[in-house]
Amino acid sequence: MAAKARALAVYVHWPFCSRICTYCDFVKYPAIKQPAWFRGAGRGADPTHDEVLQAYRRQLTQLVQQLPSPNTQRQLTSLYFGGGTPSLMSPSLLRRLVDLVYTMFPPSSHPVEITLEANPDNITRDTLARWQTAGINRLSIGVQAIRDPLLQALGRQHSAEVALRVVKQAQDVFGSTGVSLDLMFGLPGQALDDWCTDLDHVLTELKPAHMSIYELTVKRGTILYHQTKLGLKVPDPDDYYFATQDICSAHGLERYEVSNYAQSPTMFSRHNMAYWRGTDYLGIGPGAVTSTIDLVSRQLVLCYQAKSMYLAVPSPFKRQPVLRYQQVHTCLLTLRDGDGCMATLRQRWRLDGMDQALIKRTMEEAVTDIVAFLCRTREPFDLAQVAAHFGVSLQPKARKELQQLAQAGLLEYSEKIQPTAWASRFNQPITEAGHLPASIRLTGKGLDVCNRLSTTVAELLLV
């Protein structure tokens, strides 16, 4: 019997932005003097355009060589273009990157979800059509707010009127199920009543099938962080958080993850679910992360993030926060030469060849990470299944502790064997490993405290 193909998600990081938002702490590079491919006019004959494609090809090839099992045993489920601002990428380069990933991982009969993050100010009817021709079937549009003063405070370049208009245009082209919206709450100067009014307006006017709604987080080193140090006030997000759940529920949107809402399970973000289920994923680009775990051969390839391409650029707090063209070109050369984001790929570690203390630290991190991700959604998972396939076991007190958490209304607990999406990636039944089933599903109340709850649950595993 042929081995079951394992699901795989691929993330492509495009690091360039035309402007840096005040709250953003992602790996990104602003640019003003942009080459043709950056402005969206590039074609395959553009030498720089080809250099960029070769850089991504080189990195993806090296990552594939690191996979514990051949790429022929992988089923590509999603491809995600994030940033930065990938909607600034030329559609022709976008098409070639889609083809590149398909060459490495040919699509099966199951459709691949291909998402492009886009800013409203980059969207026109023409770009929508060209993105669709390039293979994109899902847009994630960064609306963030629908009041101009709030958008200006965030450093966004679009207006509220433009955002609402282009979302409707995108829904006309991709269908309502092919468009997701991003909004943020807890913004400086945003009253709770205003947030409730705005969210209700978006849901009434646009009727989105999927929304990602985030609490504004002040990250060290961002413009916003320095603004708060100078006295800018950010409201307490708790009331906004609970009001968001009530309003979305009233409009028929299910909260299936801490910050994500959808009209039905068929509209969940397939790519993000790959992260939350612990599915293998590859990331290419200067700020991308890769994580694969081969639990059959007991081989771990742990997450890494590129540390290079952090060039000496002008501070975003100075008068001219731009990355000049020569620096952009240097950045590309670094990526192209392979000394940048691919400088140090992790070794393929086998457990029997590792120092025992290092094995323990590695397994603890892997178990803690997977439980943390599993506890971000309301999808059920079996803690005994996690234990069995990581080669660990449940603590004797696990049953009692899980029952107490269930009594507190934080999770649903069952000792019946249940098929779960997470367990479906493995072939070995947990009963063969002698583990008592311990099916868990977080309640809405548990999702509200998922970070603390995941730590408690992970501690029930003996590592």
Which CATH code of 3.30.1380, 3.30.300, 1.10.10, 2.60.40 fits the domain covering 354-462? 1.10.10
Q: Is the full-model pTM beyond 0.85?
A: no
DSSP 8-state assignment for residue 298: T
72, pLDDT greater than 90:
no
Ranked by mean pLDDT, the top range of 231-235, 385-389, 426-430 is 231-235
- Which has the higher per-residue pLDDT, 146 or 413? 146
Task: Give yes or no for residue 43 having a pLDDT over 70.
Answer: no
Distance CA 163, CA 156 (A): 11
Percent of the chain with pLDDT over 70: 72
pLDDT of 39 over the 80 cut: no
Q: What is the mean pLDDT of residues 360-380?
A: 79
Lowest-confidence pick of 42-56, 278-292, 389-403: 42-56
pLDDT (0 to 100) of residue 396: 82
Mean pLDDT of the 334-362 span: 39
Confidence of residue 19 (pLDDT cuts 50, 70, 90): confident
**CA 324: distance to chain centroid?**
29
* 125 phi/psi in degrees, rounded to 5: -60, -35
List all residues 6 or more positions away from 283 whose beta carbon is below 8 Å from its beta carbon. Answer: 10, 11, 12, 13, 289, 290
Which pLDDT band holds residue 349 (cuts at 50, 70, 90)? very low
Q: What pLDDT was estimated at residue 424?
A: 45
Residue 211, φ and ψ in degrees, nearest 5: -140, 140
**Token couple for 219:** 């990250």
For the chain, percent helix, then strand, then coil, each to nearest 5? 45, 20, 35
Task: Determine the residue type at 129.
Answer: A
Whole-number average pLDDT of the chain: 77
CB atoms within 10 A of CB 172: 12
What average pLDDT does the segment 59-68 reach?
A: 76
Residue 259, pLDDT score: 94
Higher pLDDT, 155 or 396: 155
Higher pLDDT, 397 or 421: 397
pLDDT for the residue numbered 430: 41
Q: What is the mean pLDDT of residues 403-430?
A: 66
Q: How far is CA 122 from the centre of its chain?
A: 21
Residue 135 or residue 397, greater confidence: 135
Characterise 283 by phi-psi region: left (phi > 0), alpha (psi -120 to 50), beta (else).
beta
Structural domain boundaries in the chain: 6-276, 354-462
pLDDT at 57: 87
pLDDT of amino acid 269 = 96
User: Is 285 a residue whose pLDDT tops 90?
Assistant: no
Of the pLDDT bands very low, low, confident and very high (cuts 50, 70, 90), residue 158 is: very high
Q: Are 457 and 371 in contact (CB under 8 A)?
A: yes
Reported as a pLDDT band with limits 50, 70 and 90, residue 2 is low
What number is the average pLDDT over the span 134-139?
Answer: 98
Q: pLDDT (tens digit, 9 = 90+) per residue, 173-231? A: 999 999 999 999 999 999 999 999 999 999 999 999 999 999 999 998 888 999 999 99
Is the pLDDT reported for residue 80 higher than 60?
Answer: yes
> Could you name the CATH architecture of 6-276?
Alpha-Beta Horseshoe (3.80)
Task: Band the pLDDT of 53: cuts 50, 70, 90.
Answer: confident
439 — pLDDT class (breaks 50, 70, 90): confident
For residue 261, the SS3 value is: strand
Average pLDDT over residues 51-74: 75
107-134: per-residue pLDDT in tens? Answer: 888 899 999 999 999 899 999 999 999 9
Q: Is 354-462 the same fold as 6-276?
A: no
Map tokens 């399970």 to a residue: 265
Q: What are the start-end ranges of the E strands in 52-185?
A: 74-83, 113-118, 138-144, 179-185
Whether the per-residue pLDDT at 10 is higher than 70: the answer is yes
Statement: residue 305 has pLDDT above 80: no
Mean pLDDT of 354-370: 62
The terminus-to-terminus CA distance of the chain in angstroms comes to 33
Q: How many DSSP H helices and E strands does the chain contain?
A: 16, 19
